[in-house]
Amino acid sequence: MTVGNILNTIVWIFGLLVFAGYVYFVWQSGKRREREEAKLEEAQSNENLKSEGPLFKLYNEQLRIYQIETRGRARLSFTWAVVSMLVGFAVLAVGATLIVIHGKDGVLSGSALAAIGGSLSAFITKTLLDVHKVSLV
């Protein structure tokens, strides 16, 4: 096997892992949302809420919808932040591999790729984690 084939295989495996992680996340978030909605329905069916007026019930329903949307946004931003971290690590690994494989000829390209990819990934990750933090406050 050549070095190009090995790197291509690594990229495909990493891509498949990211895709599988995304599918698992979507599946888990659907199950989690169903559990949260069931808990909220149970809390709303409480006898104390039945005696309240229609404005209170309307406010409670609006608050429930807002809470579900906000939690979903926080989960999604955190998941994409983790994906961004993994992509940044993969770019750093590819840069290091270029340096090791090509020796002195690959130092410039490998270090430039690793530096640019790592800094871009760090910026995207920080932005997504800030969105996650704001969504939870």
Mean pLDDT by runs of 10 across the 137 residues of the chain is: 66 75 75 76 63 76 82 82 81 78 77 79 81 76
Characterise 36 by phi-psi region: left (phi > 0), alpha (psi -120 to 50), beta (else): alpha
Query: What is the reported pTM?
Result: 0.56
74 contact partners, CB below 8 Å, separation of at least 6: 131, 132, 135, 136
**36 burial type by CB count under 10 A (0-12 exposed, 13-18 middle, 19+ buried):** middle
pLDDT (0 to 100) of residue 4? 66
pLDDT at 94: 78
Q: Judge contact between 85 and 21, C-beta under 8 A.
A: no
Q: How many CA atoms lie within 13 A of 64 on its CB side?
A: 16
pLDDT at 12: 75
Q: Enumerate long-range contacts of 41-49, CB under 8 Å, 24 or more apart.
A: none
pLDDT score recorded for residue 43: 66
The domain segmentation of the chain, as residue ranges, is 3-136
What is residue 118's predicted lDDT score, i.e. its pLDDT? Answer: 78
Say what the pLDDT of residue 123 is. Answer: 82
